[in-house]
Amino acid sequence: MRAVSLIDGREVSNDVHVINYQGMPPYTLFPPSTAKRVRTDARTLASRVGYVMGAGDEVPGALRQLGCDVTLLGPQDLARGDLRRFDAIVTGAAPKGTYVRIARPLLEGRVVRGFEGDAAHTYFSVFDQLIVAQKDGFQFVERNRRPPLDNVNCLLSFVYSLLVHDNRSDLESVGLDPAVGFLHRDRPGRPGLALDIMEELRPVLCDRLALNLVNRKQISGKGFSIKESGGVLMDDETRKVVIVAWQEKKKEELLHPFLKEKVPYGLLAHVQALLLARHLRGDLEAYPPFFWS
C-alpha cells in the first residue's frame, strides 16, 4: 500500500521519521510512505504472556492484537520469580541490563525445564516400541502417574521411586540437600535434586530394568490390578521380583564415562552426587553429567 497526499496540486508520498537519541544531534529521514500487507495464518500457542520490554519495543501491542493477555514485567516482578501464572515469557530485543541481570537465572531455568519436558515427551513417544513381548499385558501410550493408569507406568513409577530413594541418601552422604534442585522447581516435600540426578540415571537403571523384566517374561500382566480409582497396583509377588532384580542390577559394573573406571551401577548415584558436590565447592570447573552409550 502507498499513502499519497495532494497538496497544492502536488503529490506527497513520503513519511517523516525523526531520530533523536540522547548524546547525538537529531536526524530526520523521509522514507516512502508505503506498507506491505501479507496474509498469514497466525496462531497463538500461549494466551497469558509475560513480557520483558526491549528498546523501542512494539511487540506487546502485536501480541495483544493476536488476542494474548500481555503483562509487562519489571525488575520487581522478575525478582519474585513467580512466573507460573504465565504460559510463556518473552524478552524483547536488547532488554535493559537491569532486567537481564535479574531475569536471566529465572528464565534460563524455565527454558531448561522446557527442553527437558520436550525431550521426555519425545523419548516416551517411542517407548512402546521397546516392548517386544507380552504386548497384551504391557502396552505404553504415554507417561502417567499419581496414579499410574497402566501396567507399564505402574512398573516405571515403582522403579523410579527406588532410584529416588537411593539418590536422596547419596546426596545427603556428600553434604548436599536433596530438596534443592535445578531442573525441578522447589516444592514442600519434593526431593528436587534427587529427581535431577534421576534424570541422568533412569534410562540405564530403571527403564532398562523394566524393559528386561517384561521382555524376558520375568513378570506378567497378572501381577497388576486396576483399582476403583482407575489406578493400577502391583501385587506383592511382582514387587518382590522387581526388588530382587533391582538389587542384582546394582551389583553389575560399567565403565564410568568421566572417571574411566569400572563402578557398580549401585554406586552411580553416589558418584554423580560426589562430582556435583566437588563442582559446587569449586574443585571441578564443570559438573560432568552421566552420558550412557
pLDDT tens-digit series, residues 269-287: 899 888 988 888 888 888 8
Q: How far apart are the first and last CA of the chain?
A: 58
CA-to-CA separations, 238 to 159, 225, 233, 243, 248, in angstroms, rounded: 12, 11, 10, 9, 16
Looking at residues 42-58, what average pLDDT do you find?
74
- Would you call the peptide bond into 147 cis, given omega within 30 degrees of 0 as the criterion? yes
Q: Which of 244, 245, 269 is nearest to 256 (CA)?
A: 269
- Report residue 98's pLDDT band, with 50, 70 and 90 as the boundaries: very low
Instruction: Check residue 8 and give left, alpha or beta (phi > 0: left; psi -120 to 50: alpha).
Output: left
Amino acid 100: pLDDT = 47
Least confident of 54-68, 191-205, 273-287: 54-68
CA-to-CA separations, 85 to 69, 70, 81, 229, 274, in angstroms, rounded: 11, 12, 11, 30, 36
Looking at residues 229-250, what average pLDDT do you find?
91
Amino acid 103: pLDDT = 47
* Rg of the chain over all Cα atoms, to the nearest angstrom: 28
Question: Which pLDDT tens digit goes with each residue over 6-33?
Answer: 888 788 777 777 776 555 677 777 778 7
Length of the chain: 293
Looking at residues 243-254, what average pLDDT do you find?
92
d(CA 48, CA 202): 34
pTM: predicted TM-score of the whole model, two decimal places: 0.62
Contacts of 44 (CB under 8 A, 6+ apart): 66, 67, 68
Q: Which residue has the higher pLDDT, 48 or 248?
A: 248
Amino acid 30: pLDDT = 74
Q: Which domains does the chain show, CATH number per domain?
A: 48-109 (no CATH), 133-280 (1.20.120.920)
Query: Residue 168 is which amino acid?
Result: R
What percent of the chain shows pLDDT beyond 90? 15
What percent of the chain shows pLDDT beyond 70? 84
Amino acid 96: pLDDT = 47
- Report residue 79's pLDDT band, with 50, 70 and 90 as the boundaries: low
48 phi and psi, to 5 degrees?
-110, 110
Contacts of 112 (CB under 8 A, 6+ apart): 182, 183
Least confident of 92-96, 139-143, 157-161: 92-96
- Inter-residue contact 263 to 271 (CB < 8 Å): yes
Question: Which pLDDT tens digit goes with each residue over 119-140?
Answer: 777 888 888 888 888 888 888 8
Amino acid 22: pLDDT = 59
